[in-house]
Amino acid sequence: MLFKNIRIIDSVTDRNTNLLIQKDSFYELTDNDIGNYKKYTKIIEKKGLALMPSFIDLHCHLREPGYTYKEDLYSGQQAALAGGFTTICCMANTKPVGDNPETIQYVRDKSNALDMCQVIPISAVTENLKTNKMVNFQEMIRFTRLFSNDGQPITDKKIMIDALLASSIYQFHLLTHCEPEVEMIDRDLQLLESYGGNLHICHISKRESVELIRTAKRKGLKLSCEVTPHHLFSYGLDYPVNPPFSKKQDREALWEGLLDGTIDIIATDHAPHSKEDKLKGATGLIGLEHAFSLVYTIFKERNINLQLLSKLMSETPAKLLNIPQVRFGQVPKANLVLVDLEKKYVIMEKDIISKSKNTPFLGQTVSGQVIMTIKNGITKYSRR
Ligand SMILES: [Zn+2]
């Protein structure tokens, strides 16, 4: 496959080139070179298209095992690929809970067999997410380096201290769901300062959270945090999601945090629910398919460069996961997403690939659409 005069964007690049995908790599070609490849290669050339490193999601819910009426490993990965993601990390609040090697291995093995995305299962921190009994970290780190009780805040201070200490000893990332958000972030930052650890704070949504994390980072504390596409895109929506849509001034603070480096990554918190569960009050919304469009729409509105978007959705997540970062001209692993930056479309239920359709953004016009997702040189998704 040959992309002719294509715009390429990563965290430091934004220029036009000719790019040939061959096997699992890519090569840049001069206009003269193109002639040699013309005969036997599919050529793609269209105004408005751009190639970027494919996206990486540190936080999603794929619902398998146990809740496959909401989503499963196949439908969730289909949605991820349609959203331009090739690596996704799924939370442990399944049935059974991902607090044991068998469940984590099940998710891994089944995902490997499907051969769609790279799926990294996240282990629970405590057994069944709710008890005060820690999982066996020594055993679990053979399967994953990510631990989280997402959905259930770690309210017990002693447990949080032990989890932070374990994250240093066993070298894993501790992903926290803070609720009440500001109070718990404040507590956790103090604990981090006293005990150390590898802390990643999930889905921050409030001005005070941004300020606390900014101050902690300025003091030299090492931690990372994420924001969701929906909290960046909207505010004040009366739609059940946790954390809830915040006020306008909170949303603006999140933007300031993105621009000054306080916020490290964008993660979807893709949380599929059936219509019935939603009616019963289940919180959350689907995020994988619309993440890029929501983020790009607002980046465009605010005239923010797309290198930052690439950093937040690809480069820094890759660094956190310690997997190779795709850089044009440097690491030529063809994990790429082709996006149409001139496309505008309306989010419609009939187009949603995920098993669940829970999103407040139906009917919303957005800019920028994922056209193709390439993993290790193989086209895993192509928009019809
Ligand atoms: Zn959460």
Please give the average per-residue pLDDT across 191-214, as a whole number. Answer: 98
29 pLDDT tier (thresholds 50, 70, 90): very high
Please tell me the distance between residue 140's alpha carbon and the centre of ligand 1 in angstroms: 21
331 pLDDT tier (thresholds 50, 70, 90): low
Is the pLDDT at 332 greater than 90, yes or no? no
Query: CB under 8 Å to 237, separation ≥6 — which residues?
Result: 245, 360
Please give the average per-residue pLDDT across 316-320, as a whole number. Answer: 98
Is the pLDDT at 214 greater than 80, yes or no? yes
Nearest to 228 by CA among 243, 211, 248, 213: 243
Query: What are the φ and ψ backbone dihedral angles of 213, each rounded to 5 degrees?
Result: -70, -40
Q: For 133-160, how does the pLDDT look when each residue is reduced to its tens digit (9 = 90+)?
A: 999 999 999 999 999 999 999 999 999 9
The mean pLDDT of the chain is 96
Please tell me the distance between residue 218's alpha carbon and the centre of ligand 1 in angstroms: 25
d(CA 150, CA 177): 5
Q: How far is CA 133 from CA 99, 158, 171, 197, 214, in A?
A: 11, 11, 20, 19, 32
Can you list the positions of beta strands (E) in the chain? 2-9, 14-22, 25-29, 43-44, 49-53, 55-60, 85-90, 118-121, 146-148, 173-176, 199-201, 223-227, 265-266, 336-346, 365-375, 378-382
Catalytic residue among 10, 99, 162, 269: 269
End-to-end Cα, the chain, rounded Å: 17
Please tell me the distance between residue 326's alpha carbon and the centre of ligand 1 in angstroms: 28
Please give the average per-residue pLDDT across 161-186, as a whole number. Answer: 98
Q: How far is CA 25 from CA 103, 125, 213, 334, 335, in A?
A: 33, 37, 38, 5, 8
Residue 325: what pLDDT? 87
Q: For 250-295, how does the pLDDT look when each residue is reduced to its tens digit (9 = 90+)?
A: 999 999 999 999 999 999 999 999 999 999 999 999 999 999 999 9
d(CA 113, CA 110): 5
Q: For 5-27, how does the pLDDT look when each residue is reduced to its tens digit (9 = 90+)?
A: 999 999 999 999 999 999 999 99
d(CA 381, CA 42): 16
39 vs 201, higher pLDDT: 201
Query: What are the φ and ψ backbone dihedral angles of 154, each rounded to 5 degrees?
Result: -85, 90
Pairing type for strands 43-44 and 118-121 reads unpaired
Count other C-beta atoms under 10 Å from residue 345's C-beta.
14
Residue 166: what pLDDT? 98
d(CA 93, CA 91): 6
Q: For 57-107, how does the pLDDT look when each residue is reduced to its tens digit (9 = 90+)?
A: 999 999 999 999 999 999 999 999 999 999 999 999 999 999 999 999 999
Please tell me the distance between residue 371's alpha carbon and the centre of ligand 1 in angstroms: 29
Please tell me the distance between residue 139's alpha carbon and the centre of ligand 1 in angstroms: 24
Residue 310: what pLDDT? 98
269 is catalytic: yes
Q: Which residues pair with 60 in a beta bridge?
A: 90, 270
